[in-house]
Amino acid sequence: MSEITRIETTDIADLARGAAILGTGGGGDPYIGQLMALEALRISGPVELVATENLPDDAQILPVAMMGAPTVMVEKLPSVDQFVVAVNALGQYLGVKPTHIACMEAGGVNSTIPIVAAAELGLPLLDGDFMGRAFPELQMVTATLFGIPTTPMSITDDKGNAGIFNTVSNLWAEKLARVVTVEMGAASIISLYPMRGNQAREAAVAGTLSLCVRLGRAVKQARASHADPVAAVAEVLGGRVIHTGKVLDVVRRTTAGFARGKATLAGLDRNDGTTLTLNFQNEHIIATRESTVLATAPDLLICLDIDTGEPITTEAMRFGHRIALIAAPCDSRWHTPEGIELVGPRYFGYDMDPVRWNQVQLPQ
Amino acid sequence: MSEITRIETTDIADLARGAAILGTGGGGDPYIGQLMALEALRISGPVELVATENLPDDAQILPVAMMGAPTVMVEKLPSVDQFVVAVNALGQYLGVKPTHIACMEAGGVNSTIPIVAAAELGLPLLDGDFMGRAFPELQMVTATLFGIPTTPMSITDDKGNAGIFNTVSNLWAEKLARVVTVEMGAASIISLYPMRGNQAREAAVAGTLSLCVRLGRAVKQARASHADPVAAVAEVLGGRVIHTGKVLDVVRRTTAGFARGKATLAGLDRNDGTTLTLNFQNEHIIATRESTVLATAPDLLICLDIDTGEPITTEAMRFGHRIALIAAPCDSRWHTPEGIELVGPRYFGYDMDPVRWNQVQLPQ
């Protein structure tokens, strides 16, 4: 699946843009992730990208991620050292030396932080992740569907505090790490889901870092050739534009380590006064036009600038922003009953079945 | 200092009563601690008590305690196994075998839980603690004054979740362990302040488990000989009765893992309508009659049943209860500037200097 076998400085801008697209509104400011990854590659050289199918059974993979509210990450840049500290804390606790670093999430800074860690540690990086997009909670990964435990996990902050958790379920790992993250200042660096190569081959969503680069390039190339960058993204993801509109209002609140809220978009191409509502918890969860739900998690809801195709995070969304909303299919395993229980609308507090990206017939 | 060299089932009732007296209103229901310790000694036999001055330099001491709101402990009895799990989790993390168990606190269940752990593990117990009374937060120990770090520490719950923390300060250990304790259901079992014999010899408040037994016996013997049990407790502690009165009102709220509140007592021996107010945060912190502060933490404020001399915890205090309030001196190291910063009234949010147990002249 991998079309690229290593990540170089020249890939980072495309990769960060693509990661922000898969971030579906969450995942933090892509510019911050881009800066950190560029700096790490300049110092340590390119990072080798390993296709999941090429992982040896006994590979020892230690994923690394940032936990917390993306709205906080914008103001509080993590230090490069902290990623290494989190990985080493888990490795030392387990008594293992990692052979590979991995992303748990394909989205926002959690696609670029592992690049920084891999560069610093001189280790290869898995071309894949365990969501195929971004989700707000630790247990919301394909690894959970395959019975891979979140813990032992490490959790660290910028002051030098560190912890290790062993929990009875992946949901308990989320609960305990969440309150510690909030106390640490609403952002922490974690290393979690330590796993072997055979486990990652089975559970990973393959090729998502390559996909990030492809998505970023598609936007760049469409703009260069005066084509439609929004259509280019929809094509790469196999999705469709379900709304174009101007942002009327965004209500945000940062609670319990999440950025929750609601965005209201007018209809650009319609003069009937109808509006579209996007509910988010770090990521966009539900898109509703009037009383019709157009699409929901676990499928992807992606906001792009209608002219440039640049992804727009929920914290960057402002009144007057002209937005194209893309709905696109998620990894098929999220549509199993176990997947829907983990990341479907009901988990987020919406009493409805999931609506797929192409399920509702749109008016012409 | 030790007058007893081992704890047997026949000591437990006295010890638990004495621990509830030093609990100064906090520390949880003494009856629960008594039941657990009795059961452990019945199964495993007596626990050897080691005077702090007899500790060898290279003794490896692992203290164990319950963290959380005493009001919750009444409803949620911890399992005996959990104490062993907490100690072993820390021992395994450190790669050491403990030679001694210790109490961090002389007060309530935190004087009896270490007995259970010592009995189960077949280890001797330190005759001493690191408060000389009860205090509500982890960093409030003489160990902090001697630069002994709280961490590495373990934290466990009744469901099987466990964590290890390494923090940059003892206050950060309190902060992170507190939010985890709240998330675990407002109670956790922790093992913390791992230390060597030479450190414990210097930092411990010596002989406080013996003191608990002596206090409990003094109450029992005074009752048996129809003497005044309240006066007997005041004498053993070198303190004095500063108020006797009937409880008019108790306001409690369990917030952030603490039982906070205020009790108002009428004056039994006075007909002038004056009342006494006791402010508590797990333990009694400030005693005020009208506008005069009679005594404050770090000195001890102890509520006893006026007739029986039984200690009364804040959660057991009810309207109509007839109470004698004893003020007694704390370990002298708490009255150093560093001690007052850690456990003086200002830390608890009262803008005043500490008032010592015998500082205010009482009206005849």
Task: State the pLDDT confidence band at A315, using cuts at 50, 70 and 90.
Answer: confident
Chain A residues with CB-CB distance to B164 below 8 A: 93, 163-164
The tokens of A348 are what? Answer: 């987020």
| pLDDT reading at A2 higher than 50 | no
Task: Name which of B135, B147, B116 is nearest B67 in CA terms.
Answer: B135
Q: Report strand pairing: A100-102 vs A60-68.
A: parallel
B50-90 residue pLDDT tens: 999 999 999 999 999 999 876 666 676 777 789 999 999 99
The answer as to whether B187 is a domain residue is: yes
Stretch A310-326: mean pLDDT, rounded?
92
Counted residue by residue, chain B has a size of 364
pLDDT given for residue B272 in this prediction: 66
The CATH number linked to B280 is: 2.40.390
The CATH number linked to A184 is: 3.40.1610.10
Chain B residues with CB-CB distance to A93 below 8 A: 93, 164
Considering only CB atoms, which residues of chain A are within 8 Å of chain B? 93, 159-168, 172, 175-176, 178-180, 182-184
Do residue A179 and residue B175 have CB atoms under 8 angstroms apart?
Answer: no
pLDDT given for residue A1 in this prediction: 42
Q: Which amino acid is at A134?
A: A
Tell whether A160 and A236 lie within a shared domain. Answer: no
Minimal C-alpha gap between A175 and chain B (Å): 7
Q: How much is the pTM?
A: 0.93
- What is the gyration radius of the CA atoms in chain B, in angstroms? 19
| pLDDT reading at A302 higher than 50 | yes
- Residue B253 DSSP code: E
Angle at alpha carbon of residue B138, lines to B132 and B143, rounded to 5°: 55
Looking at the 3D structure of chain B, how many domains does it have?
A: 2
The tokens of B34 are what? Answer: 């008594």
Q: Which amino acid is at B236?
A: V
Tell whether A10 and A135 lie within a shared domain. Answer: yes
| pLDDT reading at A245 higher than 70 | yes
Tell whether B172 and B248 lie within a shared domain. Answer: no
pLDDT given for residue B271 in this prediction: 60
Single out the residue in A208, A243, A271 at which a domain terminates: A208
User: What are the residue ranges in chain B where pLDDT is below 50?
Assistant: 1-2
Q: How is the beta sheet containing B300-305 ordered, strand by strand?
A: B292-296, B283-289, B275-281, B258-266, B240-255, B322-328, B300-305
Domain that holds residue B81: 6-208
A98-151 residue pLDDT tens: 999 999 999 888 999 999 999 999 999 999 999 999 999 999 999 999 999 999
Tell whether B161 and B277 lie within a shared domain. Answer: no
Q: Which residue has the higher pLDDT, B76 or A274?
A: A274
Q: What percentage of residues in chain A have a pLDDT greater than 90?
A: 82
Do residue B179 and residue A179 have CB atoms under 8 angstroms apart?
Answer: yes
| pLDDT reading at A74 higher than 70 | no
Chain B residues with CB-CB distance to A184 below 8 A: 176
Tell whether B78 and B133 lie within a shared domain. Answer: yes
Tell whether B165 and B125 lie within a shared domain. Answer: yes
The answer as to whether A354 is a domain residue is: no
pLDDT given for residue A221 in this prediction: 97
Q: Which amino acid is at A313?
A: T
Task: State the pLDDT confidence band at A175, using cuts at 50, 70 and 90.
Answer: very high
The answer as to whether B29 is a domain residue is: yes
Chain B residues with CB-CB distance to A161 below 8 A: 165-168, 172, 176
Q: What is the ipTM of this complex?
A: 0.90
